[in-house]
Amino acid sequence: MIEDRARYVDSALRLGAADAVEFDLADIVFDPRTWLKCMFGCADWGKGPTCPSRPGSPTPWQYRDMLSRYQWGVIVHAPDKKTSQRVSLAIEREAFLDGYHFAFSLSDCGLCEPCAGCATGEPCRFPKSARPAFHSVGIDVFSTVRAFGLPIRTLTSPEDPQNWYSAVFIE
């Protein structure tokens, strides 16, 4: 298992992540206030197929219960959403093929620009690859990644470099 952790971090870096770190579940900071930021800060609230506002979606406390059954995983950092998602889905698949049948990625979806569900209300074009965002399930991404020394800050201008984070929960 220790070897798998290092191998998945190496895979993430090889696949294009700017940074990748392994985590233990205790390193993940849960805070349901993330939903407030989604509700009152995201123009896609209530529209996206992976949005926590969609009918039947688990609440942050239900996600916390589900995710608490994992013991470890890998955080992926990239300068753009598509890379973050692509890398985290690849790590999810690699872990699944290695026998971690519950491996699950949390990543802002960047497959469609704009999102088909958000822009037109159409069904998701990639339902097997779309995942909820790391922050939309009740995880305080800022506190979580800062504890690892990873770069993250509030953007003050559209020209500011962005930091996109995904996480693959493995067990």
Give the pLDDT score at 44: 75
Question: CA-CA distance, 52 to 46, in Å (whole number)?
Answer: 8
Give the pLDDT score at 145: 95
Tokens of 108: 């802002």
Q: Could you report how far apart the first and last alpha carbons of the chain are, in Å?
A: 10
Report which of 68, 107, 116, 112 is spatially closest to residue 89, judged by C-alpha positions. 107
Per-residue pLDDT tens, the chain, 171 aa: give them.
678 899 999 999 999 999 999 999 999 999 989 888 888 887 777 777 777 777 788 888 899 999 999 999 999 999 998 999 999 999 999 999 999 999 999 998 777 777 776 767 777 777 788 888 888 889 999 999 999 999 998 888 888 888 999 999 998
Report which of 139, 132, 138 is spatially closest to residue 109, judged by C-alpha positions. 132
Q: What is the pTM of this model?
A: 0.90
Sheet of 164-170: strands edge to edge? 19-24, 72-78, 164-170, 104-107
